[in-house]
Amino acid sequence: MSMLINIRKEAGWTSFDVVRKIRGITGEKKVGHGGTLDPFAEGVLIIGTGKHTKTLSSVSNTHKSYEAVIKLGEETDTLDTEGKIIKSAPIPDLSHDTIQTVLRSFLGIQMQIPPMYSAKKVKGKRLYKMAREGKTIEREPAEITINKIELINFSNDRITFSSNCSKGTYIRVLGSDIAKKLGTVGYLIELVRTDVGDVNIKDTLTIQEFQEKWKSISL
């Protein structure tokens, strides 16, 4: 059966974990996803099966929305909770207006350097594989667009913000760059993809919900 499935990926799962699970549930060999979500992240992951895998490229090209939490004062090598702390810095006195001004300075078209811990390929090899070998190589910056970015909450060493951005935007890098522009360092401790194109997180199914729905359809 060919279909597009709006899955809510849980934190701790890789995007390919979800693909394998859907393959096991449906028995469909041809299964793919429309845009990788980091293992520590959760939220909307569009899965295609059968003929619908051909439409996944258009899904991955759509703009996406996220909510993220930055922990200030420390930085990890992966820029998220998966890595080890490699740097620390004092946190300056910050106000809501100061943070909002810095966030909005990222609006528009800009160049972003992909992180070493990413699935991006350079000369045929995944960057994260080189990073795990202790290697750091020069990466070409890529053009991205931040359409919208807003402060949701700020307290102590945590900043929660929302963003709508183009394909290829690394929110981990954005979080790190925000911290640096605020005069400190930081990394993401939470990341939720809330929208992929017109698909909202409210319309998603967990793996368990999809499995139960599939069983009822298959009966």
Is the Cα torsion angle 193, 50, 127, 168 positive or negative in sign?
negative
Average pLDDT over residues 35-47: 94
pLDDT tens across 113-129, in order? Answer: 999 888 888 878 888 88
The residues near 145 (Cβ < 8 Å, ≥ 6 apart) are 63, 108, 109, 110, 165, 166, 169
35 against 76, higher pLDDT: 76
Q: Find the catalytic residue in 17, 38, 97, 195.
A: 38
Structural domains in the chain, CATH included, are 3-61+197-218 (3.30.2350.10), 64-196 (3.30.2350.10)
Average pLDDT over residues 56-62: 89
**Is 38 known to be catalytic?**
yes
Return the SS3 of 195.
Answer: strand
pLDDT tens across 174-203, in order? Answer: 999 999 999 999 999 999 999 999 999 999
pLDDT for position 121: 84
Residue 164 has pLDDT above 60, yes or no: yes
pLDDT tens across 117-163, in order? Answer: 888 888 788 888 888 888 888 888 999 999 999 999 999 899 999 99
pLDDT for position 45: 96
pLDDT for position 29: 93
Contact 127, 119 (CB under 8 A): yes
